[in-house]
Amino acid sequence: MPLVLGIDTSCDDTGVGVVADGRVLANEVESQTALHARFGGVVPEQASREHLSVLDAVVERALDRAGVSLRDLDAVGATRGPGLVGALLVGLGYGKALAWGLGIPFVPVHHLEAHIAAAVAGAGQDPPFLCLIASGGHTALFAVRAWDAIERLGRSRDDAAGEAFDKVARLLGLGYPGGPALAELAGQGDDHAVSLPRPMQRQEGFDFSFSGLKTAVAIALERDPGLRPEDVAASFERTVVDSLVEVTRRAAERSGLERLVVAGGVAANTRLRRAMDEVGLHATFPPPALATDNGAMVALAAERRIEEAASHQDDALEADAAPYLPLAASGEPSASA
Ligand code: KG4
Ligand code: ZN
């Protein structure tokens, strides 16, 4: 039973997790939300500096929580991309050095593959399945036919779904990152009170678009400053969720993939969970603590790669941080990292 430590420093949270046999023994996340909130968004240099100053302590906390020591580890995984390059370098460099020092394998992990691994871990689910990833940085639909045969069916042409949540939350004065706060406010509002255009309604493919919707909210607020924030939040949330569900339903129908996995920070949204169910898409969602960025998901992805013996690459220590790293090319199946 390999014991794997995983590190994610792709954006603004320092995540370290420990897993064994698909079970999460520790998942420590040091959030930088307060640091970036006053800027209204993530400041990359600040994020890198913060990762650098806290990572060692977060690793120790994760080991303590798991009740293990460094010497017990069998492998170390770290996110190599996509993400902010300075932030990635902190976790990747630390992970490589730790593995090398302990004389154990190092596994460079794709951030989106880690999100998927977190979503399927509890369900013990293997491909084939359709996967919707909706996070702050990405919104895309993948046909995961096998772990090494992933095809991208569609993606957002502009803002990611989580990014739209954050931007509209900002318009409503909810602070940063606003997704969870907006979702909570939406629960108290009338979701038909504000009429907003459904994005890409007349499009046939599997792409998404959310920046026009954000602009529509801004215009509605400008025209009628008396709108109740909870009604705006509920109407916006319904429109985003309807769009995600509609495109996913179409992709499920056309691809013939019956099982659906939803991953990424927006997978924590309860309305999205309910709406998928209502259209008969029985999806596997990650537990909320594993939905947003964390280290356990990296450890889970690394563990799977080790089991497949795919990680025993001599060049793993040479993997560079990759700020732009597609999970799969559009239209043609390709390797998953
Ligand atoms: O996957 P993640 O932690 O980071 C990225 O890799 O981007 O996703 C974070 C995103 C943020 O935009 C956040 O506002 C959104 O997920 N989010 C939510 C909820 N919880 C987190 N959006 C809607 N409803 C939620 N409950
Ligand atoms: Zn993420």
Tens-digit pLDDT profile for the chain (337 aa)? Answer: 799 999 999 999 999 999 999 999 999 999 998 899 888 889 999 999 999 999 999 999 999 999 999 999 999 999 999 999 999 999 999 999 999 999 999 999 999 999 999 999 878 789 999 999 999 999 999 999 999 899 999 999 999 999 999 999 999 999 888 999 999 999 999 999 999 998 887 788 999 999 999 999 999 999 999 999 999 999 999 999 999 999 999 999 999 998 999 999 999 999 999 999 999 998 999 998 899 999 999 999 999 999 887 545 668 999 999 999 999 866 544 433 3
Counting ligands in written order, the one closest to the CA of 114 is 2
| Nearest by Cα to 109 from 82, 132, 145 | 82
Q: Is 81 in the pocket of ligand 1 (CB under 6 A)?
A: no
Burial class, 236, CB count within 10 angstroms (exposed 0-12 / middle 13-18 / buried 19+)? buried
In this structure, the dihedral spanned by the alpha carbons of residues 248, 251, 255 and 260, taken in order and rounded to 10 degrees, is 0
Backbone angle region of 144, left / alpha / beta, with phi > 0 → left and psi within -120 to 50 → alpha: beta
Full strand arrangement of the beta sheet holding 13-20: 23-31, 13-20, 3-8, 75-81, 106-110
Reading the block at residue 84, the tokens are 């902010």
**Three-state DSSP class for residue 297:** helix
**Cα 61 from Cα 11, distance rounded (Å):** 20
Backbone angle region of 249, left / alpha / beta, with phi > 0 → left and psi within -120 to 50 → alpha: alpha
Determine the pLDDT at residue 94. Answer: 98
Ligand 1 centroid, distance to 9 Cα (angstroms):
15
Smallest CA separation from ligand 1 atom 5, residue:
136
Smallest CA separation from ligand 1 atom 16, residue:
265
Strand residue runs (E) in the chain: 3-8, 13-20, 23-31, 75-81, 106-110, 129-134, 139-146, 149-155, 260-263, 283-284
CA distances for 152 relative to 38, 79, 246, angstroms: 36, 20, 17
Cβ within 8 Å of residue 275, ≥6 positions away: 241, 242, 244, 245
Ligand 2 centroid, distance to 83 Cα (angstroms):
9
Q: Is 286 in the pocket of ligand 1 (CB under 6 A)?
A: no
Q: CB-hemisphere CA count at 13 Å for 237?
A: 31
Ligand 2 centroid, distance to 238 Cα (angstroms):
22
CA distances for 273 relative to 49, 235, 270, 327, 332, angstroms: 36, 17, 5, 24, 29
Determine the pLDDT at residue 312. Answer: 56
- Residue to mutate (ligand 1; options 8, 109, 115, 135; most atoms within 8 A of CB): 135
Determine the pLDDT at residue 65. Answer: 98
CA distances for 255 relative to 128, 153, 156, 200, 218, angstroms: 11, 9, 19, 20, 36
- Residue to mutate (ligand 1; options 111, 171, 292; most atoms within 8 A of CB): 292
